[in-house]
Amino acid sequence: MKKLLVANFKMNGNKDFYQKVNKVVNKIAVKDTVVLCPPFVYMPYFKIKNKNVFIGTQDMAGFENGKSTGQISPNMLKDFDVTYSILGHSERRAIGETNEIVAQKVKHAIDNNIIPIICVGGKTKLDEIVEQVEAVLSSVENNNKIFFAYEPISAIGTGIQPSVNQINIRLKLIKETAKKHGFDVGVLYGGSVNMSNIREMNKTIAEGYLMGTVTKNIDELMEIFKGDYE
Ligand code: PGA
């Protein structure tokens, strides 16, 4: 099955970097589904010609156009062919994004045909995961395409990953919780995924990965997109 490979470039890079990413990604053969999530201001540098590559964002507002200084609405993103949006990343939850705010964003993403990739499990606690998943699902219909990414803070940018078993327990919990509410969701893992550990991560039930640090290295990122680890 095709995996969903999400590149979260975070607040890194510059014009030259993103022009290069656009150039190289259009030249390689991608067998999985790739989602590139640059900072908003660099989105216009992407002219994707690869049918397996999509543009996503790292966040968006949970409401439509209006009096909201500094925000980017989901309907604006449609002008840039945005297909996915990472929502509720732990780095955003750390600056005050609550479950209620994340749920609002998920609802508006779906209303605008943007597929949400919702980050959960920062503290890896099982009850926290259930709470975060349920908070989001209560705001949307169950016929929509939704992904959840289990992203323990302890693994983000640290090089220290949970075991295959620890990851599987949490991904199964996300799937079961969603199922109870009538949803069939996709599950991803995120936290220090790179070329040296992706084969190990492929032993988990993850249907894809959310990647941060490795996105700074264009060559390594492209190797992952090409599936060179197999
Ligand atoms: P990392 O980041 O790959 O640097 O651990 C993942 C993320 O924060 O989405």
Chain centroid to CA 54 = 12
Express each pLDDT in 7-42 by its tens digit: 999 999 999 999 999 999 999 999 899 999 999 999
CB 85 within 8 A of CB 115: yes
Q: Which ligand 1 atom lies nearest to the CA of residue 90?
A: 8
Please report the pLDDT score of residue 164 as a whole number.
Answer: 98
Which of 211, 215, 221, when mutated, tests ligand 1's pocket best, judged by the most ligand atoms within 8 Å of its CB? 211
Burial 115-137 (b: 16+ CB within 10 A, else e): bbbbbbbbebeeeebbebbebbb
pLDDT at 230 over 80: no
Q: Which ligand 1 atom lies nearest to the CA of residue 193?
A: 3
| Reported pTM | 0.97
Q: Is 64 a catalytic residue?
A: no
Query: Comparing 68-77, 136-145, 188-197, which segment has the lowest mean pLDDT?
Result: 136-145
Q: Which ligand 1 atom lies nearest to the CA of residue 8?
A: 9
Please report the pLDDT score of residue 221 as a whole number.
Answer: 98
Please report the pLDDT score of residue 143 as a whole number.
Answer: 80
What tokens were used for 160? 């220290």
Nearest CA to ligand 1 atom 7: 212
What tokens were used for 142? 């169950």
Q: Is 131 a catalytic residue?
A: no
**Ligand 1 pocket residues where CB is under 6 Å:** 8, 151, 156-157, 190-193, 210-214
**Catalytic one of 91, 97, 108, 151:** 151
Mean pLDDT, residues 171-182: 97
CB 35 within 8 A of CB 83: yes
Residue 182's CB is within 10 A of a number of other CB atoms, namely 10
| Phi/psi of residue 60, nearest 5 degrees | -170, 165
Express each pLDDT in 106-136 by its tens digit: 999 999 999 999 999 999 999 999 999 999 9
Nearest CA to ligand 1 atom 6: 212
Nearest-angstrom CA–CA distance, 169 and 171: 6
Express each pLDDT in 56-111 by its tens digit: 999 999 999 999 999 999 999 999 999 999 999 999 999 999 999 999 999 999 99
CB 168 within 8 A of CB 162: no
Which of 9, 11, 193, 220, when mutated, tests ligand 1's pocket best, judged by the most ligand atoms within 8 Å of its CB? 193
Q: Which ligand 1 atom lies nearest to the CA of residue 190?
A: 6
